[in-house]
Amino acid sequence: MKAVGIILAGGGSSRLESLTAKRAVAAMPLAGTYRSIDFSLSNMSNSGVGTVAVVTQYSSRSLNIHLSSSKWWDFGRKQGGLYLLNPTITPENTHWYRGTADALIQNLDFIKERHEPYVIIASGDGVYKLDYNEVLERHAATGAEMTIVCKRMPKAESERFGVLQLDGDGRIVSWAEKDEHSSPNEQIINCGIYVIRRRHLIQLLEEAAREDKCHLVTEMIIPHLAERKIMAYMLETYWTNIASVKAYFDCNKDFLDPKLRSFFFSEHPVIHTKVDDNPPAKFNGSARVSNSLVAGGGIVNGTVADSVLFKKVYVGDRSNVKNCILMDDVYVGDDVVLENCIVDKKTRIANGTRMVGDPDHIPILS
């Protein structure tokens, strides 16, 4: 089934603290060489979605540079392609995007000009692999007005998300945003992926514009669960959202599992990203590396364990890096001890530095 894709990548997150001071959440580095948005973009491309718009706003420079060439996701084509939709101040509109619905309303002309019968709306901070055609087929088969991708999660991990209740047919009958719920050990959460017929979306957005509604979930979906047939599609494979320091740290550590790496990066269809021309990582004679990812351009002289080192990271002599995330171009001097930390891009760690963080409250060095 033909669909146009829209990736909502305009937001920041205070829960990521200083990590999003200069970058959007969708631009957050993952698994050594990837960005968060690569997963949604690759899912679109791998599902045959030929036209995708990325809605950007907050600290979008890094994200825009990453998306400067669409060929990495196979969107460099004559028909369709990759579009960046930034907020635009006009005589008729004098404000930035005020929410997810407002972002769609301000780009309503783009949606109206498309010819595809369906729209897939996805967030740019979800890490997952999904054939959207399966969701489209379920959407058409059930006669739903909207289909939302959902996942069962332990209660301890679900408190950051909208929690849903379904009837026996898979229809969403109640929705508690964030911490307004109390229920069993396992809960169904919203993954932030929506499928809807394009004509119907246009009608809903025009209605929302007249009523000055700005938010897709809280103003356009939740108040209308009773009168609209909104169905759930259950995702059974890996999914996470990285919009907090702990979630971001845990997601990167998840990729130390070879089975998960194989699922995303070896099993067809794979996740794609913009490729840099870096040499292979170099491990000098004194290097000791275990259960870690070390990206291209890295040089290791010390000990690295249970960590993810992004591109062009240097680890000095006799230094010990354990259970850490080191982003691009980080320089770790000699005789350094780092444990349970995130080190932001281009940070220099002086010789002899010692930082041992709390695994439950990961410190950020920048």
Residue 351 lies in a domain: yes
Identity at 313, one-letter amino acid code: V
- Assign 184 a pLDDT band (cuts: 50, 70, 90): low
Q: Do 172 and 317 share a domain, yes or no?
A: no
Q: Residue 177 has what pLDDT?
A: 63
Last residue of a domain, one of 236, 265, 294: 265
Token look-up 């994200």 returns 63
C-alpha distances out from residue 280 to 3, 234, 258, 296, Å: 39, 39, 19, 5
- On the question of pLDDT at 7 being above 80, the answer is yes
Q: Residue 306 has what pLDDT?
A: 98
**Of 242, 248, 310, 324, the residue nearest 276 (C-alpha):** 310
Question: What is the spatial distance between Cα 357 and Cα 342, in angstroms, rounded to a whole number?
Answer: 9
Least confident among 96-100, 205-209, 319-323: 96-100
Last residue of a domain, one of 238, 265, 292: 265
Q: Do 222 and 82 share a domain, yes or no?
A: yes
**Of 49, 79, 55, the residue nearest 67 (C-alpha):** 55
259-295 pLDDT, tens digit each: 999 999 999 999 999 998 899 999 999 999 999 999 9
Q: Do 180 and 315 share a domain, yes or no?
A: no
Q: How buried is 62 (Cβ within 10 angstroms: 0-12 exposed, 13-18 middle, 19+ buried)?
A: middle
143-179 pLDDT, tens digit each: 999 999 999 998 777 667 879 999 999 999 999 865 4
15-50 pLDDT, tens digit each: 899 999 889 999 999 999 999 999 999 999 999 999
CATH number (domain holding residue 252): 3.90.550.10
Q: Do 303 and 246 share a domain, yes or no?
A: no
Q: Do 256 and 288 share a domain, yes or no?
A: no
Q: Do 180 and 324 share a domain, yes or no?
A: no
Residue 233 lies in a domain: yes
Residue 140 lies in a domain: yes
CB 307 within 8 A of CB 289: no
Residue 316 lies in a domain: yes
Q: How buried is 287 (Cβ within 10 angstroms: 0-12 exposed, 13-18 middle, 19+ buried)?
A: middle
* Buried b / exposed e along 122-158 (16+ C-beta atoms within 10 A): bbbbbbbbbebeebbebbeebebbbbbbbbebeeeeb
- On the question of pLDDT at 78 being above 80, the answer is no
Q: Do 157 and 290 share a domain, yes or no?
A: no
- Assign 69 a pLDDT band (cuts: 50, 70, 90): confident
Residue 276 lies in a domain: no
102-120 pLDDT, tens digit each: 999 999 999 999 999 999 9
- Assign 76 a pLDDT band (cuts: 50, 70, 90): confident
- Assign 181 a pLDDT band (cuts: 50, 70, 90): very low
Question: What is the spatial distance between Cα 343 and Cα 340, in angstroms, rounded to a whole number?
Answer: 10
Task: Look up the domain containing 18 and give its range.
Answer: 3-265
Count of domains observed in the chain: 2
Q: Do 348 and 294 share a domain, yes or no?
A: yes
Residue 275 lies in a domain: no
CATH number (domain holding residue 311): 2.160.10.10
Question: What is the spatial distance between Cα 359 and Cα 185, in angstroms, rounded to a whole number?
Answer: 24
Q: Residue 93 has what pLDDT?
A: 75
Q: Do 241 and 304 share a domain, yes or no?
A: no
Last residue of a domain, one of 265, 290, 306: 265
Q: Do 31 and 149 share a domain, yes or no?
A: yes
Whole-structure pTM over 0.75, yes or no?
Answer: yes
Residue 247 lies in a domain: yes
Question: What is the spatial distance between Cα 208 and Cα 311, in angstroms, rounded to a whole number?
Answer: 44
Residue 270 lies in a domain: no
Instruction: Tell me the mean pLDDT in the region 62-87.
Output: 87
**Residue 81 — φ and ψ, nearest 5°?**
120, -170
DSSP state of 36: T
- Assign 180 a pLDDT band (cuts: 50, 70, 90): very low
**Residue 133 — φ and ψ, nearest 5°?**
-60, -30
Tokens of 177: 């945003």
Q: Do 243 and 286 share a domain, yes or no?
A: no
Question: What is the spatial distance between Cα 187 and Cα 160, in angstroms, rounded to a whole number?
Answer: 12
Q: Do 348 and 258 share a domain, yes or no?
A: no
Token look-up 């890996």 returns 238
Token look-up 């108040």 returns 223
